[in-house]
Amino acid sequence: MINTNEILKKYDIRLTKTLGQNFLTDINIIRKIVNEGELEPSDFVLEIGPGIGSMTCEIAKKAGRVVAVEIDKRLIPALEETLSDFSNVTLINEDIMKLDLNSMTGDWKGSLKVISNLPYYITTPIIMMLLESEIEWDTLIFMVQKEVALRMAAVPGTKDYSSLSVAVRYYSEPKLCFTVSRNCFIPKPEVDSAVVKLKKRELPYLKDVDKEFFFKIVKASFSQRRKTLLNSLGTQPWLEGGKNTLKETLGILNLKETVRAEELSLQDFANLAKTLAQHGSGV
Ligand code: SAM
C-alpha cells in the first residue's frame, strides 16, 4: 500500500493549494470510488490528476488501459515509481485543459470512463469540458466538493438546483454516490467532498433543440435565481418580443407567469428553447 507522507518526503514534494493538491490517503475510500467505475479489461480509463498514483494503481488493476494526466512535473518521478508494476498505464505531464482528448483515446473499441479526484480550483471547467467533448465517454466519476456534488445531482424545486444541474442532466444521468470526510486527505481541505457518477444518456426530446440557444436560455434564466423567469430571461436584450413573447410562451407551455428557473425541468427548458426559437430568438 502507498504511504503518501513517505513518498512526499522521499521526493521532497510540498503540496500546493494553487493546483488543488489534496491527496486521498484512505485506501478504502479509493477502492470505493474505483468500484463505482465497475471496471472491466475492455475499459479505457482517463484519470485526471493522479497525484502520486494511489488511485491510479487501483484503476490499473482492473481496467485494460489507463491514461493519467498530471500537470505537476515534480510528481512524475514519484508516479513512475508507484506505477512501475503496471504496463497498462501511460503518464502524461500536461494540463488536462490543453490536451486533445480524441488523440489520446485513439481507436479504443471498449468503453471510455473518466475517474478523478478533481482539483478544486478548476472543477466546473473540467466537468463542462468533458460533458461537451466529442469523445465517446460512457461514465464519468468525480470526487468534488460536497456542495458542487449536490448541485450536480440536484433536481428541480430544490435549493441546489442550478444551471450546472441542468447541464449535467442534459448529457447524463447523475448519481450522488457517497460523501467523503475532509479527514481522508493530506492536507486536510476546509470542506467535505462527495463522489458523483454520471452515466451518458441521450434524451429524445433534446434532439431537435438548438444546443447553443438552449444553454443561452438556461444561463439567462438562472442569472438572477430569486427573480421570476419573466424578470430574468424576459429582460434579456436578445429575446425577440421580450416579456410579452415570454408570457405568451409560458401560456402555451402551461407554465405559470410567476415561474422561476429553479422550478423548471430539463424538458421545460427544452420546450422553452423550441418555442422561443419559433418566435425568432434562436441563435
Ligand atoms: N488523484 C490524487 C488523489 O486522489 O490523491 C490527487 C488528487 S488532487 C485533488 C488533484 C491533482 O490534480 C493534483 O495532483 C494536481 O497536481 C493535479 N492537477 C491540477 N490541475 C491539473 C490540470 N489542469 N491538469 C492535470 N492535472 C491537474
How many A from CA of 21 to the centre of ligand 1? 6
- How much is the pLDDT for 33? 98
* Alpha-carbon span 163 to 262, nearest angstrom: 9
- Residues 131 and 255 both lie in one domain: no
Whether 224 is covered by a domain: the verdict is: yes
pLDDT attached to residue 283: 58
Please check whether residues 101 and 219 belong to one and the same domain: no
Instruction: Indicate if 190 and 109 belong to the same structural domain.
Output: yes
Q: Which residues pair with 45 in a beta bridge?
A: 66, 113
**Does a structural domain hold residue 283?**
no
Same domain, 32 and 85: yes
Q: pTM to 2 decimals? A: 0.95
What mean pLDDT is predicted for residues 34-43?
98
pLDDT tens for residues 255-271? Answer: 999 999 999 999 999 99
Are 194 and 240 in a shared domain? no
Instruction: Locate 81 and state its grid cell.
Output: 515509481
The residue contributing the CA closest to ligand 1 atom 20 is: 19
Contacts of 106 (CB under 8 A, 6+ apart): none
Helix intervals (H) in the chain:
4-10, 27-36, 54-60, 76-82, 101-105, 123-132, 146-153, 163-171, 211-222, 229-232, 242-252, 266-278
What does the pLDDT read at residue 280? 67
Same domain, 141 and 219: no
Looking at residue 106, its pLDDT comes to 79
Indicate whether 211 and 239 sit together in one domain.
yes
User: Between vectors from CA 166 to CA 161 and to CA 168, what angle results, nearest 5°?
Assistant: 110
Arithmetic mean of pLDDT, 218-223: 96
Provide the residue range defining the domain that includes 115: 4-201
Identify the CATH number of the domain in which residue 88 sits. 3.40.50.150
Residues forming a β-bridge with 176: 196
Answer for the pair 114, 105: CB distance below 8 angstroms, yes or no.
Answer: no
Rounded to whole angstroms, how far apart are CA atoms 252 and 248? 6
CATH number of the domain bearing residue 236: 1.10.8.100
DSSP 151: H
Q: Is residue 65 part of a domain?
A: yes
**Do 83 and 142 reside in the same domain of the chain?**
yes
Q: How far is the CA of 118 from the centre of ligand 1 (A)?
A: 6
Q: 95: Cβ below 6 Å to ligand 1? A: yes
Domain count, the chain: 2
* Residue 271 placed within a domain: yes
- Which residue reads 482492473 in cell numbers? 62
Domain boundary (201, 216, 237) is at 201
Ligand 1 proximity of 123 Cβ (cutoff 6 Å): no
At position 221, the amino acid (one-letter code) is S
Q: Which of 19, 45, 148, 191 to mutate to test the pocket of ligand 1 (most atoms within 8 A of CB)?
A: 19
Local structure of 158: helix, strand or coil? coil
50 domain-assigned: yes
The neighbour count for residue 62, using CB atoms within 10 Å, is 16
What pLDDT is recorded for position 2?
A: 82
Residue 198 gets which letter from DSSP? E
> Of 180, 201, 222, which one is at a domain's C-terminal end?
201
One domain for residues 259 and 140: no
Query: For 218-236, what is the mean pLDDT?
Result: 94
All three cell numbers of 138: 460512457
**For residues 29 and 10, what is the distance between their CA atoms, to the nearest angstrom?**
24
Residues 265 and 197 in one domain: no
Q: What are phi and psi of 261, to 5 degrees?
A: -55, -40
Task: Write out pLDDT tens, residues 150-193.
Answer: 999 999 999 999 999 999 999 999 999 999 999 999 999 999 99
Which pLDDT score, from 0 to 100, does residue 105 have?
85
132-168 core/surface letters (b: 16 or more CB in 10 A; e: else): eeeeebebbbbbbbbebbbbbbbebeeebbbbbbbbb
The last residue of a domain, from among 201, 232, 250: 201
Q: Is the CB of 59 under 6 A from ligand 1?
A: no
Distance from the CA of 68 to the center of ligand 1, in angstroms? 10
State the pLDDT at residue 182.
98
Same domain, yes or no: 193 and 221:
no
Question: Is the beta carbon of 53 within 6 A of some atom in ligand 1?
Answer: no
Stretch 234-247: mean pLDDT, rounded?
Answer: 93
Specify the pLDDT at position 281.
65
**pLDDT at position 96:** 97
Cell 484512505 belongs to residue: 26
Residue 67's pLDDT is what?
97
Answer yes or no: do 143 and 221 share one domain. no
